[in-house]
A and B are shown apart, each in its own frame.
Chain A
Amino acid sequence: MTFNFPLRPLRSALGAGLPPIYAALLLGVATLLCPTKARAIDDYKLGPLSMEQADVPKGRVIAHTNFASKVFTNTTRDWWVYVPAQYDAKKPANVMVFQDGHDYIGLKGAWRVPTVFDNLIHRGEMPVTIGIFINPGHQTSRGTLTNAWRASNRSVEYDSLGDRYSRFLIGEILPVVAKDFNLTTNAEGRAICGASSGGICAFTVAWERPDQFRKVLSTIGSFTDLRGGNLYPYLIRKTERKPLRVFLQDGANDLDNAFGNWPLANQMMAASLRYMDYDYKFVFGDGQHTSKHGASIFPETCRWLWRDWKEKGL
């Protein structure tokens, strides 16, 4: 389902062709007639599936530090692995990878992925899935990192087109996790997620390596000209459809700057995925460049991404 909101809904809907005074009057009348209180923009809250439930078994989180990459030389990064309580070493587990891992892993943070996974796996609404949460690299020459959002190599790793990040992920990170855990090699059972630059990064990995990842979750994705990612809507239309399932979220009040307009870029992505008959879903709200909307619908999004896991034997 596609929602198409104009960028400035009130001004364009009411102000078109009307002198300002009438537009203001109209707006006033509309406000008076409106039975509910006007809602602030980007006002999204986490639901019960993002909260810890007493009767739900909890998975464990293993923290890793100082990963040294050969693809992104001279960088360091922290990362985490979430293992659900239902994990059975005899059965290959599905995999979901999160960029900017620090934002997703916390039990009191924006996303609370371990809690959402605990709840959904317990309810049978998604399969047994190991979560891998990776921070962007920070150049060791730049000293200690105090804020993970400021990792110096983030844009290089996430915004760049091409196969470099997928070589790091598939060639360096996954083998380390696979040493300790039985991970599926079925690309249908491997999902990748990110927000903003992490969102385009997730899409790029699946675009480059559909043999490895076939489920994509991008929120407030930067499909703009940070490093050429604005090209994707056109590449999609002129490339044979890849076997991907893509979820996109964005909001009408997302960024509009020198690199592009995020709401328009995401609408372009959605239109291109539709044009090529992709299995995709686009949710467009009124959010800003935050994860509030994305995180609030994250349980529902996971259900959608994994909706046929039983039939597919994942």
Chain B
Amino acid sequence: MKRLLLFCTTAALSICSQAQDLAGDLTLHRLLIPGEEWQLVVDKQGFVDAPCAGDDDNFYFSDMRSEQGIFRVTPDGKVEPFVKAKGVSGMKFAPDGRLYCAQGGQKRIIAIDPKTGETSVLATNVQPNDLVVAKNGHVYFTETGKKQVTLLIPKTGEVRAVDIGITAPNGITLSASQGTLAVSDYRGIHVWTFRVEENGDLSAKMPYMTMRTAPDTAASDNRMRAPDYKTASGGDGMATDTRGRFYVATTMGVQVFDPTARECGLLTKPSDKAITSVMLAGPKHEFLYVTAADKIFRRKVQGEGVLFFK
């Protein structure tokens, strides 16, 4: 009887091993859904980027090599032209209902009214890579080449550097509460965070999340010890969910962190192509989308994207 009991306990434990996860642990078991793998949703584009969620069930993206520029994917999977804007590498809907777009090639940030298609220029002489728009209308964008994070206040037209020094600031997002700004370093291993002040300034800068990189087999050659790891994460586009998790597209895959910067885990890339960005969008904003060269993949997760304009 004792043996039987022991066997049953062992069996039960092995079936639901993750049941021992602590309540606060946002493990992969609390993110991934068994059987929900990456699915191809957009194919044969030029080069896709700027994945974006709206206040609806559609998913929006940019094809940087097409004349049309911005497309949307409807819940039933149809890819439709949305608004025209060439070479957009990052975009978000703003509280004013317009779509704010980073057009690095034209050194500007524009706003497009989705109803009329009317385009306004919000900032010029900038080199935006990616952007995020807060509920108060403040726009933060990365100027990767200038190692700079820049603030744009559309109401006043003010544009100013709010951080200089991250090696290659690339992806950018806010925390679920919008009290923290997070910026991924493409050529480093950290996602840096800042406190967002009311006037738009950034303070309390720190290398908050540490991204995983692959062993650097060239550098680690012949020593009897653990390898050196690559120092460039390829940290790119970012997303945030309502539980406060951060998602970063990196060379190794999508890396997910909990609100306290602990690693939740690494999701495998859907193909051997580099992924440039990640976003929670689609029905209930519960689908994780990644952009990978000419393709977009998505998978359902146990996480709901935050819409910062709401």
Query: B-contacting residues of A (Cβ < 8 Å)?
Result: 2, 155-156, 160-164, 211, 225-228, 231, 237-240, 242, 274-277
Contacts and interface: CB of A to CB of B under 8 A. Distances in A.
Given A163-B217, A228-B227, A274 B17 contact: yes
A230 B227 CA distance: 12
Contact of B14 (A2, A155, A162): A2
Given A239-B265, A240-B28, A275 B18 contact: yes
Nearest to A238: B265
Given A238-B263, A240-B28, A240-B268, A161 B14 contact: no
Nearest to A211: B272
Interface in B162-220: 214-217, 220
A156 B227 contact: no
A155 B215 CA distance: 16
26 contacts: A156-B221, A156-B222, A160-B215, A161-B227, A162-B215, A162-B216, A162-B220, A163-B214, A211-B272, A226-B224, A227-B220, A227-B225, A227-B226, A227-B227, A228-B215, A231-B226, A238-B28, A238-B265, A238-B266, A239-B28, A239-B265, A240-B32, A240-B253, A240-B266, A240-B268, A277-B34
A228 B226 contact: yes
List the 6 shortest-distance A-B pairs measured between CB atoms, nearest first.
A228-B226, A162-B215, A164-B217, A162-B217, A238-B265, A161-B215
A276 B268 CA distance: 14
Given A238-B263, A240-B266, A275-B18, A227 B224 contact: yes
Contacts of B222: 156
A302 to B, nearest CB: 24
A238 B265 CA distance: 4
Nearest to A161: B215
B34 to A, nearest CB: 8
B264 A160 contact: no
Contacts of A162: 214-217, 220, 227
Contact of A239 (B17, B225, B266): B266
B225 A228 contact: yes
Q: Is the interface of A mostly helix, strand, loop or mixed?
A: loop
Nearest to B34: A277
Interface in B60-97: none
A155 B224 contact: yes
B103 to A, nearest CB: 34
A96 B211 CA distance: 34
Contacts, number: 61
A274 to B, nearest CB: 6
A156 B221 CA distance: 8
Contacts of B220: 160, 162, 227
Contacts of B293: none
A237 B212 CA distance: 14
Given A163-B214, A163-B217, A238 B264 contact: yes
Contacts of A2: 10, 14
Contacts of A237: 27, 265
Contacts of A227: 220, 224-227
A160 B227 contact: yes
Given A162-B215, A239-B266, A277-B17, 18 more contacts: A156-B221, A161-B227, A162-B216, A162-B227, A163-B215, A163-B217, A211-B272, A225-B226, A227-B224, A227-B225, A227-B227, A231-B226, A237-B27, A238-B266, A239-B265, A240-B28, A240-B253, A240-B265
B267 interface: yes
A225 B223 CA distance: 12
Contacts of A238: 28, 263-266
A238 B17 CA distance: 14
Nearest to A239: B266
B150 to A, nearest CB: 34
Interface string B1-43: 0000000001000100110000000011000101000000000
B31 to A, nearest CB: 9
A275 B264 contact: no
Contacts of B221: 156
B72 to A, nearest CB: 28
Contacts of A160: 215, 217, 220, 227
Nearest to B215: A162
Nearest to A204: B215
B134 to A, nearest CB: 31
A276 B32 CA distance: 11
A155 B18 CA distance: 35
A160 B222 CA distance: 9
Contacts of A155: 224
Contacts of A239: 28, 265-266, 268
Nearest to B11: A1
Contacts of B224: 155, 226-227
Interface string B259-286: 0000111111000100000000000000
A225 to B, nearest CB: 7
Nearest to A163: B217
B289 to A, nearest CB: 16
Contacts of B14: 2, 274
B101 to A, nearest CB: 32
Contacts of A242: 268
Contacts of A231: 226
A215 to B, nearest CB: 18
B168 to A, nearest CB: 23
B229 to A, nearest CB: 9
A255 to B, nearest CB: 16
Interface in B230-269: 253, 263-268
